[in-house]
Structure 1
Amino acid sequence: MKNLTSLLLLLLTLLIAGPLQAAPRRDFASQYRPGLTIEVDTRREGDSLRVYLRFPNRNALRRGFPLHVMGWADFNARKPSWQDTVRRTTRQQLPSGDAALLNFALPLSRLAGTQALSMAIGPAEDALSGDAAWLRLTPENLNRSFVLLDSMSQPLMRRYVRAREVFGVAAYAPGQTLNVYRYPLSSLAAAPPMASTNILGQQPRTLGLQDSARFNADQLLRLPVGLYLLRLGNRGPQLGLLVEENQFPKLTSADELIAPLIYVSTSQERQKLFDAPDPKKAVDYFWLGVANDDQDQARQLIRMFYGRVITANQFFTAHKAGWLTDRGMLYVVLGPPETVYRNGNEERWVYRGGQSQVGTFIFRAKPSTFAADNYELVRRPEHEYLWYAAVEQWRKGRTAQPGR
């Protein structure tokens, strides 16, 4: 009888307290916030994996904290499979700006069964957060035995360069041959998030090879515009590289300013801009019309819209410019997601901006020859209302208003 009374009291206590609350899911939204993202690259070195980190704030390396590394079976796992403290790192202050570089090596045997790494300098719990540096361990990341360098022999940490920009390839084993294959650039913008398969149409499965060349892996390169595949030897590890015009990821030409308007304008409006005697001035007048002739409002709209395009280029460029991709499309029109969840090979972007701007978008990893970290949007009819509501905000000049 006493045990039964105790059990009843326990059940009553749980009912009064309410349902047990699960631990909050890890939020990766800061991975898509300029100035917060810690950039990551890798190079295989024999039986080890060298990891390169670029911190946006060099002060993070001056506080005396060690580097904490954790291996995860999945992005949403509550506990790491293993964790370690890396004390032997190579740290380097960059010659300009606030960024700083760090690199270290991990034995590949340690990474067995690990889908992702998280890394942070600070208290150990920092590496548990979605704000840490996260790396999805793809075959490309684990097996590629070279890394791209800039003209100062620093890790490039990006998958694009500008035409005739000097860059290099640092292979782990010296004296190797680098084969370079050139393919045409894609200018195909992402379809709206509610588009059906019929609207999307059949996408080409292969790209026609335009040119190829062979270099020493340790020589500096300058390449013309195109989509490239870089490969060590004939069957060695490979990497996709986009070579763009002008000041990419920035936009400088009239065509570059007009093209992203595909998401918030009609084809007739864009054609009128292309055909104008002074297309750049025509773009200014387009935004001035959106802002009802309010010059300050027009400037804010221009800064916000093209700022998002540039940021999308920085985050999502792979086989084509970032603003053309599925994630880039949503980033430009809806802005950075408020919350990002990751689960296996899936990302969920959550928006809670207001009654007409609440929705969840699912992206699934779809690696390609040129982009190992490419994601494709799961398009659904229910996205139509949110999409058109967001486009209408742009069309009426409301997106850049205070509080939005």
Structure 2
Amino acid sequence: MKTYLLLLLLIFPLSLHAAPRRDFATQYRPERRIQVDTRREGDSVRVYLRFPDRNLLRRGFPLHVVAWTDYDTRRPLWQDTVRQLSRRLRPDGPAARVDFCLPLSKLRAGQVLSMAVGPAEEAVSGDAAWLELRPEYLARTFILTDSLNQPLMRRYLHAREVFGVSAYGPDQRLTVYRYPLSSLAAAPPMAAAGIQGAQSRTLSMQDSAQFRADQLLKLPAGLFLLRMGGTRLRSGLLVEDNQFPELTTADELIAPLIYLTTSQERKKLFDAPDPKKAVDQFWLTVASNSQPIARQLIRTYYGRTMEASQLFSAHKAGWLTDRGLLYLVLGPPESVYREAGTERWVYRTDVERSGTFVFRAKPSTFAPDNYELVRRPEYEQLWYAAVEQWRKGRTAQPGR
């Protein structure tokens, strides 16, 4: 019997080892993430990609497009390539933009696309651009653009930032509805349900206005819903004060400290004669009066705050969301595994703070890519160990 098993191992070595799970951690590295947007154009869907490093596109490889039934499946539904890529490239500083069309007949809501430039295997890895084909992505006939009519590739702006709406088809009217902003921060990962109190399931509209679809716009701070013509095609847009996602005022620097401080400590910072100086002193105290360590802690914490807002902003600033909560305190996840409707963030390097956090999809009109953390009491020790690392000045992000 042992001899028979040994023969099987020699003849079929690969069949006894499952392929490694696809890791999507790159999707939460802003410097490496490929941004994606879509616009319905008749019987096609135009896909817009923004690659962070245009040098990677000069290797002569085609753009591979692969369709899957879900994030974790291993057998693609179909594969295609977009050739003559150099003719489609549009420089964007150190980055590059590409757009192309896919026939709507090949696409189904619920399917997932992966896209990458390089050898074919790169398009099936977690490092590729991934897009879940939600119904709104297949139906929405407009995209947001910047002041130069380039795809904006994000769902947030800072107040008075100029932007536009590029609609497919004849001149259309754009209706903009304004709702109040939320400043409610995510609860700790071990918090009991309802710890933040009951929240309204609906938002009260504050006002609305109409514009031409080709008109450049500037909006005040608020949460907005954009609707094209008389259709049900809508898109959420977050508009924050100042230079969001950059932090420029003392209040903006104090607010994210909610994850590391008590309410009394934050009140003391807000009430200080010079709040910005008080914030500097807070970090200097944490760093045991070492200015180099204090500067490194400030760069790390507020760098993560800005990155979380770039990654997760939708119905509210990204650092206020559940994923933003972990991103600030624990850092970018080391591994991310996706299944239908769930994400698993894995931290394993630091023994005291190692753990797996599960997020479940909770999409909305304002935030189609929103996920909520599954909170558990057993996270308490891990969480307080991570906060203590910050409070003792021991946390630093390598390479920052």
Q: Per the shorter chain, which TM-score range?
A: over 0.9
How far has the Cα of 1:353 moved from its partner? 2.2
Residues 88, 169 of structure 1: CA spacing in aligned structure 2 closer, same or farther, 3 A cutoff?
farther
Q: Which amino acid aligns with 1:370?
A: F
2:290 corresponding residue in structure 1: 294
* Residue-by-residue CA offset, 1:301-358 (whole Å, 9 max, x unaligned): 0000000000000000000000000000000000000000011111100000221111
Equivalent-residue separation in structure 2 for 1:53 and 1:270 (angstroms) = 41
How far has the Cα of 1:59 moved from its partner? 1.4
How far has the Cα of 1:47 moved from its partner? 1.4
How far has the Cα of 1:78 moved from its partner? 1.1
Q: Is 1:44 the equivalent of 2:44? A: no
Equivalent-residue separation in structure 1 for 2:196 and 2:23 (angstroms) = 31
Q: Is 1:360 the equivalent of 2:356? A: yes
2:170 corresponding residue in structure 1: 174
1:316 corresponding residue in structure 2: 312
Q: Which amino acid aligns with 2:43?
A: D
Aligned CA RMSD, in angstroms, stands at 1.9
Equivalent-residue separation in structure 2 for 1:378 and 1:144 (angstroms) = 31
Residues 123, 279 of structure 1: CA spacing in aligned structure 2 closer, same or farther, 3 A cutoff?
same
Contact 2:109-2:138 at 8 Å conserved across structures: no
1:91 corresponding residue in structure 2: 88
Equivalent-residue separation in structure 1 for 2:252 and 2:268 (angstroms) = 15
1:136 corresponding residue in structure 2: 132
Task: Please identify, of 204-213 and 7-16, the stretch whose mean Cα deviation from structure 2 is larger.
Answer: 7-16
> Pick from 247, 252, 256: which aligns with 1:251?
247
Equivalent-residue separation in structure 2 for 1:196 and 1:208 (angstroms) = 27
Report SS of the residue matched to 1:94: strand
Task: Please identify, of 149-158 and 234-243, the stretch whose mean Cα deviation from structure 2 is larger.
Answer: 234-243
Task: Show the 5 A alignment for 1:4-403.
Answer: 9-14=3-8, 20-87=16-83, 91-94=88-91, 97-112=93-108, 115-400=111-396
Residues 240, 401 of structure 1: CA spacing in aligned structure 2 closer, same or farther, 3 A cutoff?
closer
* Residue-by-residue CA offset, 1:355-401 (whole Å, 9 max, x unaligned): 11110001111011211111111111111111111000001100028
Equivalent-residue separation in structure 1 for 2:57 and 2:5 (angstroms) = 50
Gaps of 5+ in 1: 1-6
Equivalent-residue separation in structure 2 for 1:118 and 1:401 (angstroms) = 30
* Residue-by-residue CA offset, 1:243-266 (whole Å, 9 max, x unaligned): 111111110011100000000011
Task: Please identify, of 362-371 and 79-88, the stretch whose mean Cα deviation from structure 2 is larger.
Answer: 79-88
Task: Please identify, of 382-391 and 82-91, the stretch whose mean Cα deviation from structure 2 is larger.
Answer: 82-91
Gaps of 5+ in 2: none
Q: Which amino acid aligns with 1:93?
A: R
Task: Please identify, of 394-403 and 123-132, the stretch whose mean Cα deviation from structure 2 is larger.
Answer: 394-403
How far has the Cα of 1:10 moved from its partner? 2.5
Equivalent-residue separation in structure 2 for 1:403 and 1:54 (angstroms) = 24
Equivalent-residue separation in structure 2 for 1:306 and 1:382 (angstroms) = 28
Report SS of the residue matched to 1:127: helix
Contact 2:145-2:164 at 8 Å conserved across structures: yes
Q: Percent identity?
A: 70
* Residue-by-residue CA offset, 1:20-73 (whole Å, 9 max, x unaligned): 221100000011112100000000111111000001111122222111000010
**TM-score (norm: length of structure 1):** 0.95
Equivalent-residue separation in structure 2 for 1:185 and 1:15 (angstroms) = 60
Equivalent-residue separation in structure 1 for 2:3 and 2:21 (angstroms) = 31
Residues 93, 311 of structure 1: CA spacing in aligned structure 2 closer, same or farther, 3 A cutoff?
same
- Aligned residues between the structures: 397
Contact 1:91-1:100 at 8 Å conserved across structures: no
Contact 1:76-1:342 at 8 Å conserved across structures: yes
How far has the Cα of 1:19 moved from its partner? 9.6
